[in-house]
């Protein structure tokens, strides 16, 4: 199998790494959300990804699209608050946009773009609103630039992760214009957005699993 494509094994490795990262950072996400939201972002996502792992163990979907689609469907059905529908819709859109065969970096970029479009349709958020979109948008742009410049999957994912983390940090200075945090008005400034933080985890775990898979040399 070409090590520079996204296949079912790599997609599942990504989701399992993301589930582990959410569990590890659960309290951090709770604390961030407690400052400007309902305080349930970390617990909701952790519960959702625990259910995702059980669903993957039970079904063993074939194909990257099926893995990510099952992930999205499970998140929608098990996670409360805004995060379940948003992340669930993103993963379902990514999965639906992937070809049945392993996806090239360019095809995966198109699928990631479909995921962002789904998030923006559902949440009606724009860059600068202090949401998931503020990490996802620069991550996608970095991934697309890297692929256009000839980077493989690992290089593009690393660029995306760096950009997502930069976007995450930039939310500290923003005033929230969407979601529960928007009720705080100017008091939301000075706090890192929990959704942008979990989005950064999403892209960092993607970078980690693709780097580990890349052959030496």
The CATH topology of domain 8-213 is: 1.25.40
* Averaged pLDDT for residues 84-99: 95
Contacts of 172 (CB under 8 A, 6+ apart): 189, 190, 191, 192
How far apart CA 8 and CA 103 sit, in angstroms, is: 10
pLDDT, one tens digit per residue, over 63-80 is 999 999 999 999 999 987
Q: Which of 110, 128, 19, 121 is nearest to 65 (CA)?
A: 110
CB 125 within 8 A of CB 131: yes
* Averaged pLDDT for residues 103-108: 96
Confidence of residue 207 (pLDDT cuts 50, 70, 90): very high
pLDDT, one tens digit per residue, over 134-166 is 999 999 999 999 999 999 999 999 999 999 999
Residue 180 pLDDT exceeds 90: no
Residue ranges covered by each domain of the chain: 8-213
Residue 61 pLDDT exceeds 90: no
* Averaged pLDDT for residues 160-184: 94
* Averaged pLDDT for residues 120-140: 95
The single residue listed with the structure tokens 């059980």 is 54
Q: Which of 13, 113, 116 is nearest to 71 (CA)?
A: 13
pTM of the model: 0.94
In eight-state DSSP terms, residue 63 is: S
Q: What is residue 2's predicted lDDT score, i.e. its pLDDT?
A: 42
């Amino acid at each position: 199998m070409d090590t520079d494509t996204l296949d079912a094994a790599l997609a599942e490795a990504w989701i399992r790494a993301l589930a582990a990262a959410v569990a590890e950072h659960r309290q951090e996400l709770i604390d961030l959300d407690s400052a400007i939201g309902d305080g349930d972002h970390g617990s909701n996502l952790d519960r959702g990804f625990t259910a995702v792992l059980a669903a993957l163990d039970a079904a063993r979907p074939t194909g990257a699209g099926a893995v990510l689609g099952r992930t999205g469907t499970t998140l929608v059905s098990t996670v409360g608050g805004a995060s379940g529908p948003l992340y669930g819709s993103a993963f379902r859109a990514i999965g639906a946009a992937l070809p049945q065969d392993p996806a090239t970096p360019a095809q995966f970029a198109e699928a990631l773009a479909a995921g962002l479009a789904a998030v923006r349709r559902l949440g009606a958020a724009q860059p600068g609103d202090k949401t998931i979109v503020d990490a996802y948008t620069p991550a996608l742009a970095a991934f697309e630039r890297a692929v256009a410049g000839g980077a493989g999957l690992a290089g593009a994912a690393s660029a995306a992760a760096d950009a997502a983390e930069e976007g995450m940090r930039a939310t500290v200075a923003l005033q929230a214009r969407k979601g529960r945090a928007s009720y705080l008005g100017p008091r939301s400034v000075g706090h890192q957005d929990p959704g942008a933080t979990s989005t950064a985890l999403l892209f960092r775990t993607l970078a980690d699993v693709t780097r580990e898979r890349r052959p030496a040399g």
